[in-house]
Structure 1
């Protein structure tokens, strides 16, 4: 009798088969003396579509909503049905005594296997392979310590509830919004509150009113002191007050050190990575999107076997791993890591509660290197960058705290108090793992410009004594403006999603990508910004669905189900009630949707305005009339005008201000006259002069045209 092993994907199945000695290769499985190893292709089985319950749901009608089946059905997914048939046939073999579930050791992997088991009507024993790395050693150890399958029943129930909740809320609200407002609008249990959070930040930016302020700095010979004032941050919003204070300091001529505080500070090493923290760091340092980090990390885990399980939410290790820590150092002790790794291996490792804490390890421990020998030459550039983050963080875990001397100085000039701070590194400690490349600024999330007070910045201070008199070399007034809150980057958005309990480490990257692909947010350099469609979508959706608190409460309930502390029936009843309520709110809404992407071009078939819609294949133009199906790709229309800088032909466009031509590469725009279509050359020349002088006239097309037209009207 043999054991059937179900892996999550072919690459993992092949590795398990090799380790288990399954040498007979078939097209979709491997076989050996004791095991038959096959695989899924991601999900083989999923929740049935609405039309599988009733044919009427093939057509989207508002009147048919909500769709709330009494019992959720499963169906074999068409695109992977051929592999399902193979698994089904293997399950029915008489010589198969048990199933070993070897899918990903996580909620989604458990769901994948259980749905397959349900569809094939599995009624024999089953056990679970639960490992955190894909090395040969880990696989062998995992098969020696297989766990009872029913030990993970609660994890499966949690995963099933999550999938059914997403189906009920996502499909119903998406259909309701799309039917009601006659345009494709997507909503979901997690993506909608994430988008709402971004819109809230966008509103803060729009409502922000910038103000000018002054700060006063005094050169005391060798260091700079900053006037702080009664409000504590040193900003003066009244120019006359700033000038008066500066004059008073200038007349003081002499500064006296009234207070000198020295203290030795200790800075512990950063915690090991979980997936979210690694995604944040990769975005800050290398500009990786969260999805890109997940994909690269998966290759390091699965293909190269160099790192442990990636989709973890823990930043700690478990106590049973302590004996393996030096083996991992030995495996990575080459190239840039050799010196520190070999130094650590010579002594005993300092393993503290900041490294090992069983109470803070859930399904999987933190992401660290495995004991697979490192070959840097086998890694791509992106793989090497990501591995470097994980490797250096691992080395830092076992190095001592960094120590530095902090000096805070208060000086007085003419009754006014000024401040300066300095920091001297005494022992670099764990920072030596980063070879001077540790970025203090990047480790602090969402630093707002206005909060970075000048007096709070560290500088190198000379040796000072209390009561010492200093010459006032120069008094300087610096003018600046208050700055609005920064738009979210992927790093800061991941932080907020984690803070508000939106999604899981495994799903957050996909949520961001879904918002981008649905044209509700867009990437603007390193920032993420809601689109006009996203702005309207939030206005049209229920306040309850927009609330991060509601989604976070659901996520906590799912975690309680996984721990056996909550009932599935109670959770699903809440979801069904909420689905009915959300659909009802859409049906009774009096709001209107106004297409944000209308162009000034017209449909050649019906005359309606064309809408611009982005897709993976580029931009397409679609007729805005519901009764017309005209669409085409948005091909560039080149004019005979050439760019005055690069001399390439400029694109012909039509905007609110009329006809114009534009060179996107050089950001040059020429407005065309209404009559003969000739370009106004003097406007172009003036614009070029402005660019050369680096005058700020705005970057958008609207700003450029407005500036050019205003100049023309003045003549």
Structure 2
């Protein structure tokens, strides 16, 4: 029998695809049936080889070896993923397999994951591409009915591979250059470094900010309060206040305008991450993880999208989707649902994938069984769909301008004529635990007033304020800054602008946190992103080209050209190689920076759990791998009972040999001291110790 081989990115996705196309028989590392075999990649099975694969001398970091520019790039399979790669290689080259279908995520990285395996396996079989935006059964069936030639995505593969090579070149060369010159490991990345520069620059603006006081005179009138313009001089404000006391106010102008506020656009990944951070307190990575889980559970469409619109072929089915989403959401009870599909349809603004929306599977799903994070993100996506197709928010705004004692005063009032989409948003916010009370002043209607009318001043007061410094970045505001960084310097028709892509920004932030460059600090309800001392130091020594958002924004533009076949990959990579050669050849160490960075921690041995480096800190000896919890505390109770503290030499011996001879241990029973060998026994959760004594003559201890 002949088979078509489908390769997905994850086992969970492979199972969903297999169920739809009838490949239900379980085999070792794949599923089979109905003329199909379905297997998976487990993420990036293969990646670019480390520098020492090109030459063993690169295992040591030396200035004289830079820049490292591979002539022929090598791909390698991760040791922990070799078993699955071998299964895929065997399946791809099996004589009964006639063609291979790339069913990895429909985007740049998914294309790279599949092509790397396809090429490393030496596969020559015809290649097709499954391109879907939803994991619903109907979408999967339609996708398989309309498989596209794999060659149609060669440009996407080229762009993905160029992105990986560019990141390798900058990461390897810049990291080694600055680490060697400044004598400590300094991780440099083409997106990480400009992102860090944004944060460091913001903190510098906050630190140097000097508040400027201002004064505003307000007058209490019958039924309303009018306020004057800000004044920098207190004496002038006092003078105006005294002049207005007991005086009459003349209404100079009453202007009433009806205004309409359009519904918000649908979510792309970045705007969803921003709202989830602001409203729910989730990090960008958490939101992406929750959304990915919802996608795999067939409750939401493809997460890593940069589009906020839907395609024309979705218009007819949209009203049905909107109604079932509305019925599934508790916050919309009592609110009439409206659906203007034209507001969210725009084929020209949809690139690889349309906006994030819920799927029709909501109708039969038990939403109460979802984990809290997934449920909250799903409700946010559902709210945005209902709002985006709803009627506009219509209100009348009244502006009153009054005169008194030579000064001009204003008041604004608002009357809602038709709540429109805001009724849904208000209902959603009201159900939130930390819902903020509405500011009444902004909604308050003004009394009926006519031009030329005079009113008496009941009271005149001075309100004192100070100009505010820029705000510390949160993930919400940083994602926005990343999205628009360098925008003004990019061509108008640039498809991708800013730092990174919607798919990569969350990972960049997590890398900066894990590398110790960024710290999340809670302040009231918000979590601020603050740079560490080393982050400020790194940006101080980095040249402008590596911290400017323009470089990476331009790269994203060039990658788009490669994807469309308008730029040769070699030309793109040659430009990066030239830049790195210039950097290595011309960069001069900044004088006086010997004490700029935190001194590097001295490594005392290898971690018995993960093989990472164990270093001495103030309170003990800790594995430097963030995900590993191995520790030997200096105030350890076992050692304290023996009136000893583990020293650097003792811990080094324990880590390297598993045992160490210690003199003068205290005996709680006898009150005397003795010598013995201490043995390290790590159970994976705690570092434990036991004693071994020398054998005495006669065989007794």
TM-score range, shorter chain: 0.7 to 0.9
Are residues 524 and 191 of structure 1, via their aligned partners in 2, closer, same or farther at CA, if it must alter by over 3 Å? same
- Provide the residue aligned with 2:418 in structure 1: 427
Q: How many residues align?
A: 595
Deviation per CA, 1:359-383, whole angstroms, max 9, x where unpaired? 0000000001111124221212111
User: Displacement of 1:587 after TM fit?
Assistant: 6.0
Tell me, yes or no, if structure 1 residue 513 matches structure 2 residue 502.
no
Q: SS in structure 2 opposite 1:213?
A: strand
Between the aligned partners of 1:364 and 1:502, the Cα distance in structure 2 is 20
Call closer, same or farther: CA 1:339–1:194 in 2, change over 3 Å.
closer
Q: 1:552 to 1:471 in 2, by over 3 A?
A: same
Q: CA deviation at 1:596?
A: 5.0
Specify the alignment match of 1:461 in structure 2: 446
Secondary structure in 1 matching 2:105: coil
1:263 and 2:223 aligned: no
Q: 1:397 to 1:609 in 2, by over 3 A?
A: closer
Deviations 1:298-330 (A, max 9, x none): 11111x211100000000101111122134234
The secondary structure found in structure 2 opposite 1:334 is: helix
Alpha-carbon deviation of 1:22? 1.1
SS of corresponding position for 1:513: helix
1:301 maps to 2:301:
no
CA distance in 2, matches of 1:166, 1:273: 28
Q: Which residue of 2 aligns with 1:284?
A: 278
Deviation at residue 213 of structure 1 after TM alignment: 2.1
1:98-109 to structure 2, matched below 5 A, reads: 98-109=99-110
The equivalences for 1:416-565 within 5 A come to: 416-437=407-428, 459-500=444-485, 501-525=498-522, 526-565=527-566
Distance 2:303 2:328 in 1: 24
Is contact 1:340–1:395 with CA below 8 Å preserved after alignment?
no
Distance in structure 1 (CA, Å) of the matches to 2:233 and 2:217: 12
CA deviation vs aligned residue, 1:654-697 (integer Å, no higher than 9, x gap)? xxxxxxxxxxxxxxxxxxxxxxxxxxxxxxxxxxxxxxxxxxxx
Paired residue for 1:675? none
Distance 2:68 2:559 in 1: 22
Of 283, 299, 317, the match for 2:310: 317
Q: Select 1:326's aligned residue among 292, 316, 319.
A: 319
3-state SS in 1 of match to 2:190: coil
Counterpart among 398, 403, 413 of residue 394 in structure 2: 403
Q: 1:327 to 1:600 in 2, by over 3 A?
A: closer
Match of 2:350 among 361, 365, 388: 361
Aligned mates of 1:382, 1:167 — CA distance in 2: 34
Measure, in 2, the Cα distance between the counterparts of 1:203 and 1:561: 37
Deviation sequence 1:448-495 (CA, Å, 0-9, x none): xxxxxx9x9664311212222212111111122222111111000000
In structure 2, C-alpha distance between the alignment counterparts of 1:633 and 1:563, rounded to whole Å:
57
Shift of 1:618: 8.8
How far the C-alpha of 1:38 sits from its partner, in A, is 0.4
Task: Tell me the TM-score normalised to structure 1 length.
Answer: 0.79
Kept in 2: contact 1:283–1:490 (CA 8 A): yes
Alpha-carbon distance between aligned partners in 1 of 2:236 and 2:314, rounded to the nearest angstrom? 63
**Aligned residue for 1:592?**
593
Aligned to 2:626: 616
Match of 1:78 in 2: 79
* CA–CA separation in structure 2 for the residues paired with 1:239 and 1:331: 60
C-alpha change, 1:165 and 1:144, in structure 2 (3 Å) is same
- Measure the CA separation in 2 of the matches of 1:635 and 1:148: 64
Report if aligned partners of 2:273, 2:476 keep a CA contact under 8 Å in 1: yes
Offset of residue 127 of structure 1: 0.4
Are residues 421 and 338 of structure 1, via their aligned partners in 2, closer, same or farther at CA, if it must alter by over 3 Å?
closer
For 1:365 and 1:246, locate their aligned partners in 2 and report how far apart those are by CA, in whole Å: 57
Residue 99 of structure 1: SS of its match in structure 2? strand
Q: Rate the CA distance shift 1:188–1:598 in 2: closer, same or farther, 3 A.
A: closer
Q: Equivalent residues in 2 for 1:618-657 (5 A)?
A: none
The 3-state SS of whatever aligns with 1:189 is coil
Aligned to 1:273, what secondary structure does the other structure show? coil
Counterpart-to-counterpart distance in 2, 1:271 and 1:634 = 56
**Cα distance in 2 between the residues matched to 1:69 and 1:425:** 65
Pair 464,476 (structure 1): closer, same or farther in 2 beyond 3 Å: same
Q: Does structure 1 retain, via aligned residues, the 8 Å contact 2:319–2:341? A: no
Tell me the residue number matched to 1:575.
576
Verify the 8 A CA contact 1:598 1:610 in the aligned structure 2.
no
Q: State the 1:592 CA deviation.
A: 2.4
Instruction: Name the CA distance, whole Å, in 2 between partners of 1:549 and 1:360.
Output: 24
TM-align CA RMSD: 2.6
1:486-525 Cα shifts (integer Å, max 9, x gaps): 1111000000100021000000001111111111111111
Q: Answer yes or no: is the 8 Å Cα contact 2:472–2:530 preserved in 1.
A: yes
Deviations 1:124-146, CA, capped at 9 Å, x for gaps: 11100000011111111110010
Asked whether the equivalents of residues 275 and 367 of structure 1 are also in contact (C-alpha less than 8 Å), the reply is yes
Instruction: Identify if the C-alpha distance between structure 1 residues 174 and 632 changes in structure 2 by more than 3 Å, giving closer, same or farther.
Output: farther
Q: 2: CA distance between counterparts of 1:502 and 1:377?
A: 37
8 Å CA contact retained: 2:181, 2:589: no
**What is the DSSP-based 3-state SS (H/G/I as helix, E as strand, rest coil) of the residue aligned with 2:317?**
helix
In 2: Cα distance, 1:275 partner to 1:381 partner: 19
TM-score (norm 2): 0.81
1:86 aligned counterpart, secondary structure: helix
Aligned to 2:88: 87
Alpha-carbon distance between aligned partners in 1 of 2:460 and 2:379, rounded to the nearest angstrom? 46
Classify the secondary structure of the residue corresponding to 2:355.
Answer: coil
> Does the 8 A contact of 1:598 with 1:609 survive in 2?
no
- SS at the partner of 1:216? strand
Question: The residue matched to 2:315 in structure 1 has which SS?
Answer: helix
Any conservation in 1 of the 2:332–2:427 contact (CA below 8 Å)? no
Aligned counterpart, 2:340:
350
Given that 2:329 and 2:379 are in contact with CA atoms closer than 8 Å, whether structure 1 keeps it comes out as no
How far, CA to CA, are the matches of 1:312 and 1:28 in structure 2?
A: 30
